[in-house]
Structure 1
Amino acid sequence: MATRSDPQKPVEEDVPHYDLVVSIGTDYHKFDRLVGWVESYLTQHPEVTCLFQHGFTEGPRNSTDNVDRMPRKDLLKIYENATAVLVQGGPGSILDAREVGVIPISVPRQAELEEVVDNHQVEFSKVMQSYGETVIAQDAKDLHQKLDDALANPEKYRGSRRRPGADEASARLSEVFETFAPSPGHDVRKFARRWKQVVLGIVGEKFSR
């Protein structure tokens, strides 16, 4: 099992290494669907070490470590030192992983399954995947295959870190944002701010063509 995909960058000695780190955010809605998929994968791969930040949802019974939440700065260090990272499809979750150079596998919460209030995660993840900033898993089988790939080939799931700059990129991303509208009841201003964060972190040439 791979231990790190970026051996040239030193990691603090006290940061634990996990093969897989999963974070499903702190939304009060349950995300049992993803927990079940991960639990099934870990049953099939008992050698895989896993940290699962589960929020208000009960974590898998067979993960190495379960935690309801932890300080963001600590979680980002663990992301950086992990072989693979799996997150919910929310803006904050994907952007946090990208901040430390990780291209996460993501599973968007779905409103029709009562996992979230609307489907902004579905739309956001699709756009991020189109720019190579996340890899969406559609179902349990698809997730298991992508976890196998990420654990065997961690270098494929690393990219440039988010960095500030690019007003032009911000304008281009705004055009992407306008292709869909958040569902009623969603805070459009907050979502727009997240979109701006995306463009500030995505590799410049992807938006400067």
Structure 2
Amino acid sequence: MSARIPWPRDGHAPAPYVLAVVGTDVHRFDRLVDWLERWHAGRPRVRVVLQYGHSRTPRLPEAAPFLGHEELQRAMAEATLVVSHGGPATITEARRNGHLPIVVPRDPAHDEHVDNHQQLFSRRLGVAGMVRLCESETDLVTALDAGLADPSRFALAADPNRPDPRAEAVARVGQVIDDLVARRVRQRAGGRR
């Protein structure tokens, strides 16, 4: 199946563009970095831009530890596909920019977060059809390949001036979860249980 990528006016096809965002959490997310590197090695014509946070420095030509808000918004608006960690704010921004995000939640079993709230949150969104949940490398490869073959499968109607009401609810739930986790971390640091 051929990709449905828009053709620019000069007649040359742009490279498919995947934006991957791991967020700003202090935990490393090397597992996702590894998966993206292996996937990209077999698809060198695909442009992959990776915001890798505190993870190891990727062996990808376009990688940055962090992106400013405006830079991230521009990158999302231009991307063919968006891969995200299970953070509510990133998921919401991807949806606002017209993407059904491909979500790989951080897993505390790999020391990627303090608990499993990203997994629980992402699974709930996956069941609701608000994200494409990928909890294995095979899931991610399948989603990326399907998205490049037919980007419309991962496109939503973008309207940056009118937030999706479901996305607002997702962001609110995410903030509550973040607040609870932060409170628990402070309690542990203070010696209270």
TM-score, length basis structure 1: 0.71
**What count of residue pairs does the alignment treat as equivalent?**
169
Q: Give the 3-state SS of the residue equivalent to 1:109 in structure 2.
A: coil
SS state at 1:20 partner = strand
For residues 128 and 183 of structure 1, what CA distance do their matches in structure 2 show? Answer: 17
Alignment match, 1:186: 181
Q: Any residues of structure 2 matched to 1:106-185 within 5 Å, and which? A: 106-161=103-158, 163-164=162-163
Unaligned residue ranges in structure 1 (runs of 5+)? 8-15, 189-209
* Alignment-mate amino acid for residue 118 of structure 1: D
How far did residue 25 of structure 1 move? 0.5
Cα RMSD of the aligned pairs, angstroms, is 2.9
Q: Which amino acid aligns with 1:142?
A: D
The 2-side partners of 1:18 and 1:69 are apart by 22
Counterpart amino acid of residue 47 in structure 1: R
| In structure 1, distance between residues paired with 2:16 and 2:149 | 14
Superposed structure 1 runs of 4+ greater than 6 Å apart: none
Alignment equivalent of 1:93, drawn from 90, 95, 107:
90
Q: Which residue of the partner structure matches residue 77 of structure 2?
A: 80
Deviation at 1:70, TM superposition (A): 1.3
What CA distance in whole angstroms lies between the structure 2 residues aligned with 1:99 and 1:165?
A: 7
Q: Which amino acid aligns with 1:86?
A: V
Please say if residues 3 and 19 of structure 1, whose CA atoms lie closer than 8 Å, have aligned partners that are also in contact.
Answer: no
Instruction: Verify: 1:30 aligned to 2:28, yes or no.
Output: yes
**TM-score of the superposed pair, with normalisation by structure 2:** 0.76
Aligned residue for 1:19?
Answer: 17
Contact 2:98 2:157 in 1 (8 A): yes
Q: Percent identity?
A: 31
Specify the code of the residue in structure 2 equivalent to 1:87.
Answer: S
1:164 offset after TM fit, Å? 4.6
Partner of 1:102: 99
